Structure 1
Amino acid sequence: MQLSLPLPHARSAAHPGEPPRGAAGGAAPILRLSGWRRLGLAWLAGALGALAMPPFGWLPALAVSLSLAVWLMDGTVADRPTLRRLLPCLLVGWAWGFGYLTAGLWWLGSAFLVEAEEFAWALPLGVVGLPFALGLFYGAGFAAAGLLWLRGPGRIAAFAFGIAGAEWLRGHLFTGFPWNTLGMALGQNLWLMQAASVVGLYGLTLLAVLVCAAPATLLTGSNPRSRFGPSAAALIVLAALAFYGSSRAGPAPDPVVAGVRLRLVQPNLPQDAKFRPENRDDIVDRYVELTRRDPEPGEPRPTHIIWPESAFPFLIQRDPASLAKVGAGLKPGQLLLTGAARAEEPLPGERLRYYNAIMAIEPGGRIADTYDKVHLVPFGEYLPAPLDWALRAVGLRQFVAIPGGFTPGNRAAQRILTVAGLPPVAATICYEAIFPGAILPAGAADVASEPPGLILNLTNDAWFGDTPGPRQHLAQARLRAVEEGLPLVRDANTGISAVIDAHGRVTASLPLDKERILDADLPSRIVGGTPYAKLGDWPFALMLAACLGGALRARIRSTRQSSIRIRG
């Protein structure tokens, strides 16, 4: 009688749950871990991986982190039947993600201390609770990979499929939160980030997992080909990305738009003073004084002034005197782009609706055009609808003290601002700039007739002080310029303000926590756009399908070989 047993279900280890002898190599001590020790190491491995994110950018940290994750998965899967792997793999993935997000997002706690008397009690919810919950996305990714898992290089493809898919889901479900997506490990280097012009952030994520998880086979391969092949392939991929990036970016800076001179105003207003109405006159005077400063000798006069998100602690559209003062601060021919809250008269029986907006203001104080923020920050700008009544009942409100919270702008409406003297402006406010593919949503009426010429990002990172937060925010916004082939102009209250060309080069910037002005030219867009701007995440979807196909093929092949050996 012949037996035909699939290898992943066969008991070939010295003890139940252990990997087969000879397959574990130098990783054997990690593979033998179980229970809390396994979850504890997973948490530490995830925390180590956060060192690959801005401002550190240490790519080897992610390689060590993901290699440890692969070995932990090897030990978790071991000889378990396929369906019995799901829960153990989910727990390991959740622990890894919990550690990664805790170490990468701890600075969120700073926002709870701005009004400590009201929000300090909730600090653990942001610093621990959010990573705890978001870690479930990684748990799902590890579980999906576990269904495909087997010994050999094929498990790297399975791992990349699970983690990259989980990162895409994290960026889209429940309003999405793609902060520190793993692709940012490659998205900080000028050469490596250029691939985002084709595959976007999520494509970079899949490549980052493939490259950084490949070294796991060095200690677990059963033959030279399976041991060294994945790492050699990873080095080839990195070299190819660098070659493509160096060719695409080139040594010369992008040309600039004729007749445009920008002035970015970074007032460095403390967050606890910024929203106090009693400071209104001092704040307006401060902005006007910075705006009217003479340029450096020999430099042209600015044509467009830019102020950050929520520049005023009041509704300037309803304050004719302040609006006139702002307009009088502009010199003839200048135009102001500023963040400002605005209110819209309600219909009968409705409350006043507030919007987080960008306004284009002409000399004399006329508001020429407005963009309303579409993608609001949960708990920062509004309370999620299913919970808002209960949260308000216990006295909790969103961080920005607007009655009832902000109302999102119309998603179907255009995101393009029409500003005299500028090409069409793709407007984003605050963390809207971290969402790949959302800079120019489908259906924006103006995009087809005249392509945008820049991305404008107004933000206020004063909530987070001198922490990694503002630096991570800048890095993620910078990658949108590469994806879309558009220059990015970013003005932040406390910094980091910057002008970035369409290839991701920072052409001018201001340091964090400094009151400064920055006069700079506007770089040109890439004519014809980028493949990513046209195709969106379809290239990523094909890459994801290729990883799934590769993992399935390796699993089927391994099962057939095992059956042949058993029959023999």
Structure 2
Amino acid sequence: MHDTGPSGAALAAPAPSLGLASLAHRIALTSGWTRLALAWLAGACGALAQPPFGLVPALCVSLVPAVWLLDGAATASSRLGRRAGTAVAAGAIGWAWGFGYLTAGLWWLGAAFLVEADQFAYLMPLGVLGLPAGLGLFYGVGFAAARLVWSAGPGRIAALAFGLSAAEWLRGHLFTGFPWNALGMALGQNLWLMQAASVIGVYGLTVLAVLTCAAPATLADAGGPARRLGPSLAALLLLIGLGAGGALRVPADPVPEVPGVRLRLVQANIPQDARFNPRNRDGILERYLGLSDSATAPDRRGLHDVTHLIWPESSFPFLIQRDPQALRRIGGALPPGTLLVTGAARADEPLPGERLRFYNSILMIGQDGFTGGRYDKLHLVPFGEYLPGPVDSLLRALGLKQFVAVPGGFTAGEASERPPLAVPGLPPVAPSICYEAIFPGAVASRRERPGLLLNVTNDGWFGDTPGPRQHFAQARLRAVEEGVPLVRAANTGISAVVDPYGRVTGMLPVGAEGVLDRNLPTNLRETTPYVRFGDVFFTIMLLGCLALALAARHRRASPPPRGASM
């Protein structure tokens, strides 16, 4: 028996026997494990819209069946009552969809468990399946919320955009947040389309991605051409408008450069299983120093004209602050006026009765040793760099430990927000380490505008997989949101310099060993609307989708005017 009320009117009319409408009807009427399996497959297809593939149509193939599956959620029976049962059924569809999307998009996390396979391989299912299954609950909530304001016709596209975009925002903020591969990244890889992020950020792009990629679901609806074709034509015009606006925003000429700054980024490509072995300490240090002083062109002879040498996250398999010999070796290799900015683990002397505290940091080294300030990573990776406090003792009792071999794990920095780092010879620096660069709106202080975003990372955990490409794409979008250039040094992954429009001025690809010499682009003169207003525009878009969905539902629920044909 079909639901003929406002929330299930899409199923009220008999489906044609052939064509797209027939396919939509068949998908809507699936149930049980078949329905969940189909939702999982649809979600998995959506991962192809993310780097390194960037196939935006794949998100259409993912979201269109999701709309049809939600159409059929009203056919589920439940002792909870029709409305609650429909929401539960929609939540199950959303969980399966999100589980598939994240499993297909994050499978490469399994590579980290094989670096020290004897210790961590047995935990691989927790990362490859457990994390996506848990995060899939956010999508379950989003689909359930969408189904509560569902209606037949184009209005349900706005309902899905509301529920799914809200779910993505929650995923990026709750429980320390994990906004990796937000749906908006499907649009955030194209140079012209990504310019909208300077106003609405990646979550605003998520709203647009869902609206445009789910719109073709209405092609299977009954009714006139406007009802069936209108949403798809509107989506196409929206994408054309975004692209045209982005093309007009990006200037034809390169961005001016900061005078007197010559950067050299080192990507050593040291295998992860050798990277943290203390027996390799001397070889690793000599490798970095040798690469740093290499000649890359007839006019680029080593470090003689380099002002800032940048090494990646945790460059040393030892505490450089406690190794005067290594510190002297580095200082002796640096010409006058050249400063090394490097990622490194450091330790604080404990107070009486306290354990030694370790930090994942960015340090500066000159000819005479440490100089300037430092930055301690604020947003640590749960289970990677520390074990969450409330369950720390329990997990350790079960034999679990964090990936990074630091006694007790790393300690987070104490700053309340990301402080600008004063690096001699550079404009104010907004520092970030590793996955801190994936958090929109949190990569720079709002009190002092930076002149560059500096991201040091080590993506060697994940090998030659989509992971390092996804990581770089998200860091690149931060440059557009902030209107500030990005300088990124990776042990391996992607080292690059990106201008404030997201244009890559130089790059070392995954698996490459070498150096990258570049000047530093300036930031934009004016702060971007996203910097000034944050997620305000995203919130307006989200509420606008909710209003459209409610208005469409109200129209369907209202009785026809007296005298209207029935």
Letter in 2 for 1:472: Q
- How far is the alpha carbon of 1:285 from its aligned partner? 1.2
Sequence identity, in percent?
61
Counterpart Cα distance in 2 of 1:415 and 1:97: 35
1:338 maps to amino acid:
T
Give unpaired runs (5+ residues) of structure 2: none
Equivalent pair of 2:418/2:431 in contact (CA under 8 Å): no
Secondary structure of the corresponding residue to residue 295 of structure 2: coil
Alignment of 1:105 with 2:103, yes or no, is no
Name the counterpart of 2:148: 147
Q: What letter is aligned with 1:174?
A: F
Matches within 5 A, 1:50-199: 50-78=47-75, 81-199=82-200
Residues 130-183 of structure 1 show CA distances to partners (whole Å, capped at 9, x for unaligned) of: 001100100000000000011010000000000000000000000000001000
Alpha-carbon distance in structure 2 between the residues aligned to 1:77 and 1:538: 34
- What is the match of residue 25 of structure 1? 21
Aligned positions of 1:5-16 closer than 5 A: 7-8=5-6
Q: Deviations over 1:372-395 (max 9, x none)?
A: 000000000000111110111122
Is the CA contact 1:497–1:511 (under 8 Å) kept in the aligned structure 2? yes
Answer whether contact 1:266 1:308 (CA < 8 A) is retained.
Answer: yes
1:255-334 mapped onto 2 (5 Å cutoff): 255-299=256-300, 301-334=305-338
Aligned-CA RMSD value:
1.9
2:227 aligns to what? 226
Say which SS state the counterpart of residue 309 (structure 2) adopts. strand
CA distance in 2, matches of 1:566, 1:341: 75
- Give the structure 1 partner of residue 554 of structure 2: 556
- Cα distance change, pair 156–241 in 1 and its aligned pair in 2 (3 A): same
Deviations 1:256-314 (A, max 9, x none): 11111100000110111100111111111111111122352234821100000000011
- C-alpha contact (below 8 Å) 2:472/2:494 kept by paired residues: yes
> Which of 354, 357, 363 is equivalent to 2:361?
357
Give the match for residue 391 of structure 2.
387
- Please tell me the residue identity of whatever aligns with 2:215: A
- 2:13 and 2:509 map into 1 onto residues whose CA distance is 55
Mapping of residues 433-448 of structure 1, within 5 Å:
433-442=437-446, 447=448
Gap change, CA 1:513 and 1:6, over 3 Å in 2 = closer
> 1: distance between equivalents of 2:419 and 2:56?
35
SS of 1:369's partner is: coil
Q: Deviations over 1:185-209 (max 9, x none)?
A: 0000000000000000000000000
Q: Which amino acid aligns with 1:128?
A: L
Query: How far does residue 494 in structure 1 lie from its aligned partner after superposition?
Result: 1.3
State how far apart, in whole Å, the 2-side matches of 1:352 and 1:565 are: 81
Mean CA deviation greater in 150-159 or 362-371: 362-371
Query: C-alpha distance in 2, partners of 1:471/1:102?
Result: 17
Counterparts of residues 342-421 of structure 1 (less than 5 Å): 342-412=346-416, 414-421=418-425
Once the two structures are TM-superposed, the CA of residue 371 in structure 1 deviates from its matched residue by 0.1
Q: CA deviation at 1:562?
A: 5.3
SS at match of 2:464: coil
* Structure 1 contact 6–563 (Cα < 8 Å) conserved: no
Distance in 1 between residues matched to 2:563 and 2:26, nearest whole Å = 29
TM-score by length of 1: 0.94
State the Cα distance separating 1:558 from its structure 2 match.
Answer: 1.5
* CA–CA separation in structure 1 for the residues paired with 2:415 and 2:41: 40
> Partner of 2:374: helix, strand, or coil?
strand
* Aligned-pair CA distance for 1:69: 0.4
SS at match of 2:14: coil
Contact 2:418–2:430 (CA under 8 A) maintained in structure 1: no
Number of positions where the alignment pairs a residue of Structure 1 with one of Structure 2: 553
Where do residues 482-497 of structure 1 align in structure 2 (5 Å cutoff)? 482-497=480-495
Alpha-carbon contact 1:343-1:352 (below 8 Å) kept: yes
Q: Aligned equivalents of 1:138 and 1:9: distance in 2? A: 19
Are the aligned partners of 1:141 and 1:166 in contact in 2 as well (CA < 8 Å)?
yes
Distance in 2 (CA, whole Å) between partners of 1:307 and 1:34 is 54
1:390 alignment partner, SS class: helix
Q: How many angstroms does 1:340 deviate by?
A: 0.2
2:462: which partner in 1?
A: 464
Task: Give the distance between the partners of 2:183 and 2:418, measured in 1 at CA.
Answer: 30
Q: Measure how far apart 1:219 and its partner are.
A: 1.0
AA at the equivalent of 1:59: V
How many Å apart are 1:566 and its aligned residue?
Answer: 9.8
Distance 1:383 1:192 in 2: 38
Match of 1:38 in 2: 35
